[in-house]
Amino acid sequence: MGAKIKEIPAKLPKNFDKPDEPWYRYVTIDLIWKVLGYTLLHPWVSWIVVLCLRAQVTPYENIEMRIAIVWACVMTTVAIFGIISDKIAFGDSREVDLSEEVIVITGGVEGLGALMAEVYGMRNANVAVLDTKKVDDEEAEEKGVLYYECDVGDAKQVERIAAEIIEDLGPPTILINNAGIVRPKSILDSTAEEVEQTFRTNTLSHFNTLRTFLPHMLNANRGTIVTVSSVLGQLGAANLSSYTASKAALLALHSSLRAELAQHSNGQDIKTILVTPGQMSTKMFASVKTPSNFLAPIVAPVDIAKEILRLIEKGESGEIAVPLYSRYIQILALLPVGVQTLVRRWSGVDMAMVKAGLAKGVDKEADEKR
């Protein structure tokens, strides 16, 4: 008889435990925008329409032909402008061979970080996860990932673990700063220790990992750094002051990092990726309901991970903002303050933690009457 096949327990996604939603719950503005991007808003499809009209011997002077040609020219111009803009902003891509890369992921035991770690582990990449949560050796071996127990908010721990990673796998070339915690409390209810811990994990950890791993990337003249922030870093929200402030700091950190790499002689092939997701279906905000499933759908971690992995493996820099509203949320700041107030009130962003039962509201009844 042959060798006994090792059995690996499989767990179905949690979505299988939930009842099927009505079909219209799956129709969102993101889905519509994606379909348009592959059809009417795609330059290739736009020119196909022109060719189809010519195949029907439609004269060039006909209004439908003129509209089709103008539309195709506009879509082509927009596409070319986007390519040139990305080239100016992010430069050329670098070559990425996963067999030669060493990937470090902070906060990779659960949520988005765990998903990326397990995907790379299945592909036999060199993956090191830094997290305060423990993972037993058998589970780590099954996933093909090395787990290091580490508080990334502690600079000395990061330096100590970095030495172990270099000895075990080699100098890191891809850094995914994903670690994050949230404490849904108002400013007055938050203690100094809680605020400090939030900033240590969400913000200072990025400084610790950058100071530790970036020199190795500069020596190798290649690398990719992923900064996972949040759309709330641009919005702010009641009862999430420490979380939103710590995520807002990452936006400035990312811009400063890009500027410093541009000034460094070996920084050209070190790519940077900024991730500003909306609400994800993770434990962190599991009980929070979105104000509109159509305009602000909850994003599955796999959708974010897919975009991050795509940019990493293409060797490109970029910005990932999902769902659609998070890509254009900065426009809100250009509106009159009265309009901004009405939008915030309609969206319910400042009452979300209270309604989810995660925080106490200040004059909740008065706010709901306004």
Q: 3-state class of 219 per DSSP? A: helix
- The answer to whether 250 and 204 have CB atoms below 8 angstroms apart is no
Residue 148 falls in the annotated catalytic set: no
Gap between the Cα atoms of 348 and 345, Å rounded: 5
Give the contacts of 65 (CB within 8 A, at least 6 positions apart): 50, 53, 54, 58, 59
Q: What does the longest C-alpha to C-alpha distance in the chain come to?
A: 78
Among 148, 247, 271, 325, the active-site one is 247
Written as six digits, the tokens of 46 are 């736009």
Rounded to an integer, what distance in angstroms lies between the CA atom of residue 210 and that of residue 227?
11
Q: Give the integer Cα–Cα distance in Å for 303 and 327.
A: 15
How many CA atoms, within 13 angstroms, populate the side-chain half-sphere of residue 275?
Answer: 24
Residue 283 appears among annotated catalytic residues: no
Spell 72-99 as b/e; 16+ CB within 10 A means b.
Answer: beebeeeeeeeeeeeeeebeeebebebe
Q: Which of 148, 243, 271, 325 is catalytic?
A: 243
Residue 299, strand partner residues: 280
The Cα–Cα gap between 353 and 359 comes to: 6
**In this structure, are residues 103 and 128 in contact, taking their beta carbons and an 8 Å threshold?**
yes
Retrieve residue 168's tokens.
């075990």
d(CA 222, CA 314): 13
Q: Which of 46, 48, 37 is nearest to 71 (CA)?
A: 46
Instruction: Please identify every residue annotated as catalytic.
Output: 243, 247
